[in-house]
Amino acid sequence: MLVTKGIWKNFGKLSALKDVNIEFKEKGIIAIIGPNGAGKTTLVNVITGALREDSGKINLDGKEINRLPPHARIRMGISRTFQIPRPFSNLTVLENIRIGSLFSGNSNKREIEEDTERIMKLLGIKSIEGKQAGKLNTEERRLVDLGRALASRPKYIFIDEMGAGLAEGEVISLSKLIKKIQIEEEMSLIYVGHVMKLVKELESPVAVFSEGSPIFQGSFEEVISNDEIIKLYLGDRYAKN
């Protein structure tokens, strides 16, 4: 179990995270949604160690991990993708994914090759394994970043805003891919975003963030019928009371 207790993160006068208490189970999908600026990416940054919180605790299976640098947290099984992926542009797709394996701390060459192959097949990028990452389109870059994150053998994987800017058909295939990844790789998958259609398709529990805190957790249906959340997304005039 991955747990945050009373996490605060301030940027000057702005509190990007305000007393965040949230639990992530060992298996399954959870979606974190919320308007732009709600603190979703900051939460991912703090949990993965890219940013230090101002106060609060992060526990993984009962161990406090607050002081560990990102690479140590990756070894313990906490991995992430980036909103703007930056693969090593002069390396190939295959080499970029293999790098993720090296971060896992696994030094068994055969297992690393197997992981790399399996992940490229799972993500449908085996056919471009030799392509230089610098020549990839946006969609391919996102998949390679996801592959890199999967290759470190995560127990918890945070996928940040992968659905932004996709057409409806692409949203459905991305949600299918996310479900397949969670089932085949058997980890806890935390999907962070604000594309409601994608969240609906995931059919997972949803946590809604607003102004730095989780304000609601429930099913997608519960979220879209909650008056406070309708106000948050659409403004007061759409709410029933």
Contact residues toward ligand ADP (CB under 6 A) are 11, 14, 16, 34, 36-42
Which CB sits closer to ligand ADP, 124 or 165?
Answer: 165
Select from Mg ion, ligand ADP, none the partner in contact with residue 39, using the beta carbon and a kind-dependent cut-off of 5 to 8 Å.
ligand ADP
Could you tell which of Mg ion, ligand ADP, none binds residue 151, using a CB distance below 5 to 8 A set by kind? none
If the CB atoms of residues 42 and 175 are measured against ligand ADP, the closer one turns out to be 42
Smallest separation, CB 41 to Mg ion (Å): 3
Structure tokens, 41: 């990416």
Which among ligand ADP, Mg ion, none contacts residue 183 (Cβ within 5 to 8 A by kind)? none
How is residue 54 written in tokens? 């101002």
Q: In whole angstroms, how close is the CB of 158 to ligand ADP at the nearest point? A: 11
Minimum CB distance to Mg ion, residue 37 (Å): 8
Q: Which does 56 bind (CB under 5 to 8 A by kind): ligand ADP, Mg ion, none?
A: none
Of 36 and 107, which CB lies nearer to ligand ADP in the complex structure? 36
Looking at the Cβ atoms of 13 and 109, the one nearer to ligand ADP is 13
157 interface partner picked from ligand ADP, Mg ion, none, CB below 5 to 8 A per type? none
- DSSP code string of the chain: -EEEEEEEEEETTEEEEEEEEEEE-SSEEEEEE--TTSSHHHHHHHHHTSS--SEEEEEETTEE-TTS-HHHHHHTTEEE--SS----TTSBHHHHHHHHHHHTT---HHHHHHHHHHHHHHHT-GGGTTSBGGG--HHHHHHHHHHHHHHT--SEEEEESTTTT--HHHHHHHHHHHHHHHHHHT-EEEEEE--HHHHHHHT--EEEEETTEEEEEE-HHHHHT-HHHHHHHH-GGGS--
Which of positions 31-50 make contact with Mg ion (CB under 5 A)? 40-41
CB of 84 to ligand ADP, least distance (A): 12
Looking at the Cβ atoms of 9 and 148, the one nearer to ligand ADP is 9
Q: Please say which residue, 38 or 208, places its beta carbon nearer to ligand ADP.
A: 38
**Shortest distance (Å) from residue 174 CB to Mg ion:** 17
Interface residues with Mg ion (CB under 5 A)?
40-41
